[in-house]
Amino acid sequence: MLNFLKKEINLSFLINPFYIYCATFSLSIFIYSWGWSSIYPEISYSLIFFLLCTFSISVILGRVFSRCQNFSSGKERRFRNHYLLLDIIFYLIIFLGILDVSLTGYVPFLDRSRNHLEFGFPVLDPIFNSLSIFFSVFFFQTFLESRRKRYIIYLLIIIVLQLFIFRRSTVIWILTASTFLFIRYRKQIRAIVLLSSLLFIPLISYGFGLYGNVRNDLGKSYIMNELGPSEYFKSSGINSNHYLTYLYLSSPLANLQNTINQENGFTNDGELKDFLFYSILPQSLTKRIERPLKLSAPEYNLIHPHLIVGTFLFLSFSSLGWLGMILMILYLIIYIITCLVVIRRWDSFSMTTYSILVTTVALLTFANFLNRLDVMLTLFVYPVVFHYVFRFAGNELSEPLISK
């Protein structure tokens, strides 16, 4: 037994965007099957068949990618990290966060009377949010390679700031991407570490649900009476905070299935315009031109008014039916390949960008992050821009990241 606990397991092969797509949607289906909610529709054979077909394609593409990937590990091609430049970037992120709060006029954690979903000053907020994600992951990578503790402190400060403005999703992005980065960086992880991590899952689930409870000002009676827990869950004695976590992980799939149950045909309403504007183009751009172009979001069917997300396939089905979901899968493949090209061509932040890419795919079970401006910035703009920024600053500010 002791020998097994000391055994090192290679999990780096799992950190593959195509494999992660299969893994996260399979996990969502597994959690869905627990039967904790009475408002979930039964998953249809048609949806299962569709997902299995996409899994097959993803496995094939994942195998091809695993054989031909050769982007930098992040240690050799990164112009030898610039510690002063990283310090400047950290203080810039903090400044942008303070400015965002000042211009918005409130801190969601301190002012519960305001809607936290409306927090954020236009243009400034996506930049602040995306920089927080991108460089938090890079700070963590820098810590792994240099062992300089201040980068962990930078990471923690940014996370605390995000918690105060109720950006739970941003914190999840940072922690998930950092986890993927750690697995890919370390490659070999001891079995005892993996088993120990499993023991923390109930605690993480409780804390996640509790934070959502506080953020949305929910009470136990509301959760147990209004959010549809099944009699099976009520009689199990499991804490209501775990039910909130369950809803967060599986309700997007339930919303998708509920919308599929109301389908009108293979192409549904056949609204190609809605598909382009609400599933492909950046969400922030669509919001700005929505009124002048007289656009309106496709109709969909929620299982509950407060559970509003439905995987990245949700609105594509509402606008173009099964054809829309097929097109979204094709768009996802193009999206991944384009990002991999960016990583190979501008490789100063290859490990960071790759980890964020895998995280993006992993979180598609919740919502469509492919049309989020902050995600596009972290995957397609920052790796290029900061590649040249760090190269330009290299002669004066560079310092070996790892001494030879």
CA distance 165 to 101: 8
**Residue 400: pLDDT band with limits 50, 70, 90:** very low
Q: CB under 8 Å to 53, separation ≥6 — which residues?
A: none
Distance CA 377, CA 375 (A): 5
Is the pLDDT at 190 greater than 90? The verdict is: no
Measuring CA to CA, how many Å separate 83 from each of 121, 315, 340, 388? 30, 43, 27, 16
Measure the CA–CA gap between 192 and 198, rounded to whole angstroms. Answer: 10
Work out the mean pLDDT of the chain and round it to a whole number. 84
pTM for this entry: 0.88
Q: Compute the distance between CA of residue 252 and CA of residue 258 in angstroms, rounded to an integer.
A: 10
For residues 212-237, average pLDDT: 78
Q: What dihedral do alpha carbons 119, 121, 125, 128 form, nearest 10°?
A: -110
Is it the case that residue 161 has pLDDT exceeding 60? yes
For residue range 228-259, what is the model confidence (pLDDT) as tens digits?
889 888 888 888 888 888 998 999 999 999 99
Task: Please report, for residues 10, 18, 20, 183, 188, the alpha-carbon distance to residue 13 in angstroms, rounded to integers and kept in the order given.
Answer: 7, 11, 10, 9, 11
- Among 249, 366, 245, 262, smallest CA distance to 314 is for 366
Evaluate whether 332 touches 369 at the Cβ level (below 8 Å): no
Lookup: tokens for 245? 């976590």
The tokens for 26 are 């399979």
pLDDT digits (tens, 9 = 90+) for 23-77: 999 999 999 999 999 999 999 999 999 999 999 999 999 999 887 765 544 443 4
223 band by pLDDT with thresholds 50, 70 and 90:
confident
| pLDDT the model gives residue 180 | 92
332 contact partners, CB below 8 Å, separation of at least 6: 21, 312, 361, 364, 370
What is the pLDDT, as a whole number, of residue 252? 94
Rounded mean pLDDT of 4-19? 76
**pLDDT over 80 at 402, yes or no:** no
Instruction: Name the residue ranges covered by the structural domains of the chain.
Output: 1-67+80-404
Q: Which of 184, 88, 171 is nearest to 141 (CA)?
A: 184
- What pLDDT, on a 0 to 100 scale, did the predictor assign at position 77? 43
Q: Is residue 393 very low, low, confident or very high in pLDDT (cuts 50, 70, 90)?
A: confident
Band of pLDDT at residue 227, cut at 50, 70 and 90: confident
